[in-house]
Amino acid sequence: MLPQEIIDAWAEREGATVLTTVSSEGRPNSIWVMSTGLYKNEHIIIADNYFDKTKANILSTGIASVLFITKEGRSYQLKGTMSYHTDGPFYDFMMEMTPPTFPRRAAVVLHATEIYSGSERLR
């Protein structure tokens, strides 16, 4: 389970979320994502609607971070690994949270190992 501070902050997030992945050559790639959700207070789920480099990075290294900001201007970053799902409960959740006007190719799941609020490490 994610810390309660993250669960509360996620409910108050403002705007798009930044997803950063890393290639097998160690090159970072950051994108804005809108189709995101909190799954069972444990994982951040992101819909793969138009991923290209991002999908390649997830499948090759799985290293990623998610950055978001709250309406009050407090930032949070979760670092860890990502998994890619085209069926199962994560995929079903993504299908429910993402409007059908988008491709909804897969659910990408962040498995957070480090969590920060600004420079303060929460986990």
Q: What is the CATH number of the domain that holds 65?
A: 2.30.110.10
More confident residue, 10 or 118: 10
Q: Tens digits of per-residue pLDDT, 61-83?
A: 999 999 999 999 999 999 999 99
Residue 60 belongs to domain spanning: 4-121
**The 3-state secondary structure of 14-64, one letter per residue:** CCCEEEEEECCCCCEEEEEECCEEEECCCEEEEEECCCCHHHHHHHHCCEE
| Total tally of structural domains belonging to the chain | 1
Does residue 123 have a pLDDT over 90? no
Residues in Cβ contact with 42 at an 8 Å cutoff, skipping those fewer than 6 apart: 1, 2
Look at residues 75, 77, 54 and name the one whose alpha carbon lies nearest to residue 66. Answer: 77
Q: Is the pTM of this model over 0.85?
A: yes
| 3-state DSSP assignment of residue 100 | coil
